[in-house]
Amino acid sequence: MRLLLVLVPLMVLLNNCGGGDSSNAQQESLYSYIPQDINDTLATRFLNKATFGATRNDIQQLRQLGVTNWLDAQFSVSKKQDIYLRKMIALAKQCEPDVNSATIEEYLQDNDTVFNKNKASFQSPRYRMTSWFDNALTEKDQLRHKVTYALSQIIVESDFEPVFTRRAEALARYFDILYNNAFGSYKQLLKDISLNSGMGMFLTFNGNKKLYQNDANISVYPDENYAREIMQLFSIGLNQLNIDGTPKKDAQGNLIPTYTQNDVNQLARIFTGWDLQRNGRYGRVGFTRGDLTHPLEFTSKYHDFGAKTLLGEDIEAGLSAKEDIFCAIDIIMAQESVAPYISKNLIMRLTKSNPSPAYIGRIATVFQNTQGNLQAVVKAIFLDKELWDDLKTNKVIKFKEPLIAYTQFLRAMNAKALESWYYCGYGGPSDDNASNCQKVYNSFLFNDPRSYLAQGAGLAPNVFNFYDNDYIPNDVALQQANFHAPELQIQSDTMLIKYNNNIYNILSHWEKGYILASRHKDANGTYVHYTTIEEMIQDAPRAHNIPVYYVGADKMLLDAQEEYNVMEMVIDGDTDGDFTNLQDNREKDYHDDEKALRALIEYENNKLTGGLLSQEEMDVIYEALQANIYNKYNGNTKKYQLYRNIIMPVIRAIVSSDKYMVE
């Protein structure tokens, strides 16, 4: 059937611009505008901002704890050391054990056993992307990982650096730094990222040298790339801001720059003398050069130890290299524009695309009063009255990034690592036993998602991220309302079609019940069913089940049991999976079957959008599918037909609708 996109009038978006159990009575009073009895739909909308997608367990926990306690519980989840890099190395060791023979701990130690240095594997971006998706989909500290992702769009490092297309471990380490500091000090985050080997490569200050004369007697000045971006993009922005994010202006009404070219020159002098460890030759760049998982190392002969002046403050001569950097960051963090600039960016990435100056001001004040404590800032963002007033009235306040829409779909479908699959490189199995392949256990596999999402974590096209925060679509109504919708800058008709097609492919290949309900030919040519997922995987080389062994196919396991249960409760009054009363609509009245379809649509609306679809929009989906509820088969094939004709189209219709693509 042809899927229908459920459309919402544009003016609905324009009109929307803009509590739980707690033993602490003062806290309860402070956030009295947050409902104490949160329903499932409100919980879903909140969790879709605070996590990579609401799940049934998340909703139950939020409703049981209340919002403030849920946030505190998220803050208290222990960090996992090196989580992005560890998962990347673990998968690389399974897929390519011969070239990754050291232990994970040996690779993580700061020694000459350097992961992926000699191989520079073309597969490394897959391993790194799989690590990111694994964390986003399965880890319990969802809020920390969501903030990590938000920070990655402020302090950008990406595979725009060509070396990272084969040394993707640099991006895994970069995400570990963001993750480690996501609830810590923003100042410390800037210090850590300024010594990150990947950032040195990405913004070209590795191998930076103090002013010198080259062989042609021409003065060569230090590279200014990182010096400019740490101010312009990572901390203070281009123009001075009031605490509420509005621009400061001089007596003539002009914007006031936050820094000058001389400040860039002075700061560039500080970032001299740093290069990759184990590089062999200072400043040399190559796919098999240097250690991209440990901090930069210092070489004194290339550093400018002279006195500097930055943003009107003096930095004395003769400091150590780290003291130079840390002193500069102290000066930057003391600028008044840091708090509103970073606060607004975090709000826009996490909760709302058009926050009011008052919202920005409240968060910036927390940032300022706590010296950039990100835990306090994040908590204030998610507890702010403006956010909750919007949530309670179902206002659309943000468009979803395609990547976030995708993770929310996967988490809603209970995506888990596949029990096993075959890694065959770029080829396929040489025989029915896949003797030329490696068997990989309990792992996802994710490839570059840009082809169908126009973005991916750590894959921004440049240091300015995927889109411009000030972007307003070319629409008269949106422009008149001054409605910023940065996420729409990367969406196109082509991208949305590819996104929908990918949803179809994932639902078709990886839903557990559908796999087991499908028939296949065994070695004798007889149509049979697999009894387990492992049996299907074991038979994949013989059956030419390409997604199980082709490295270009993402691998996971989805579970639509919730959807089966919703329908069977209406049809049979139980959830034992036999669908006894599922009728053939060509012969009998199938009123209960029709009610089951309506129940499923309503359930998926609440589950996937937080109840944003109107009754009229749900009716559109119902009318398109009502003729498909019938079954002339027995046994497992009932579930096969129900999933293919009803469950999968309902999910696709909703996750392709504009109500799903907004928050």
Average pLDDT, integer, range 157-163: 97
| Type and span of the H or E element at 324 | helix 321-333
**Single-letter residue type at 611:** G
Of 270, 338, 353, 349, nearest to 308 (Cα)?
A: 270
- How many CA atoms within 13 Å lie on the side-chain side of 585? 11
Does the pLDDT value for residue 620 go beyond 60? yes
274-320 per-position pLDDT tens digit? 999 999 999 999 999 999 999 999 999 999 999 999 999 999 999 99
621-663 per-position pLDDT tens digit? 999 998 887 666 555 678 888 899 999 999 999 999 999 999 9
How is 480-527 classified by DSSP, letter by letter?
HTT---GGGGG--HHHHHHHHHHHHHHHHHHBHHHHHHSEEE-TTS-E
> 29 or 201: which carries more pLDDT confidence?
201
What whole-number distance in Å separates Cα of residue 653 and Cα of residue 635? 27
Secondary structure class of 310 (helix, strand, coil):
strand
Beta carbons within 10 angstroms of residue 559's beta carbon:
15
Q: What is the torsional sign of CA 36, 39, 40, 45?
A: negative
Q: Tell me if the pTM is above 0.75.
A: yes
Does the pLDDT value for residue 18 go beyond 80? no
208-226 per-position pLDDT tens digit? 999 999 999 999 999 999 9
Q: What is the pLDDT of residue 10?
A: 36
- How many CA atoms within 13 Å lie on the side-chain side of 260? 7
Q: What is the pLDDT of residue 528?
A: 94
232-273 per-position pLDDT tens digit? 999 999 999 999 999 999 999 999 999 999 999 999 999 999
What whole-number distance in Å separates Cα of residue 26 and Cα of residue 8? 41
Helix residue ranges per DSSP H, 484-635: 493-510, 512-517, 533-543, 546-549, 561-571, 591-609, 615-625
393-428 per-position pLDDT tens digit? 998 899 999 999 999 999 999 999 999 999 999 889
**Which pair of structure tokens corresponds to residue 316?**
């004395």
Q: What is the pLDDT of residue 647?
A: 96
Q: What is the pLDDT of residue 635?
A: 59
Q: Give me the helix-helix angle, 40-50 and 56-65, nearest 10°.
A: 100
Q: What is the pLDDT of residue 8?
A: 35
- pLDDT-derived band of residue 594, with 50, 70 and 90 as boundaries? confident
Of 186, 596, 595, nearest to 378 (Cα)?
A: 186
338-385 per-position pLDDT tens digit? 999 999 999 999 999 999 999 999 999 999 999 999 999 999 999 999
Average pLDDT, integer, range 76-103: 98
Q: What is the pLDDT of residue 4?
A: 38
Percent of the chain residues topping a pLDDT of 90 = 88
Average pLDDT, integer, range 161-172: 98
Of 448, 432, 459, nearest to 175 (Cα)?
A: 459
Phi and psi at 188, nearest 5°, equal -65, -35
Q: What is the pLDDT of residue 627?
A: 81
Secondary structure class of 276 (helix, strand, coil):
coil
Of 396, 511, 524, 405, nearest to 453 (Cα)?
A: 405
336-350 per-position pLDDT tens digit? 999 999 999 999 999
Instruction: Specify the DSSP class assigned to residue 598.
Output: H
Does the pLDDT value for residue 492 go beyond 70? yes
Q: End-to-end distance of the chain based on CA atoms, in angstroms?
A: 28
What whole-number distance in Å separates Cα of residue 624 and Cα of residue 24? 50
Q: What is the pLDDT of residue 17?
A: 35
What whole-number distance in Å separates Cα of residue 388 and Cα of residue 135? 28
Q: What is the chain's mean pLDDT, rounded?
A: 93
Contact 399, 487 (CB under 8 A): yes
Beta bridge pairs of residue 373: 185
* Residue recorded with tokens 């009895």: 37
Average pLDDT, integer, range 35-43: 94
What whole-number distance in Å separates Cα of residue 647 and Cα of residue 610? 18
**Which pair of structure tokens corresponds to residue 623?**
């009318």
Instruction: Specify the DSSP class assigned to residue 613.
Output: S
What whole-number distance in Å separates Cα of residue 622 and Cα of residue 116? 52
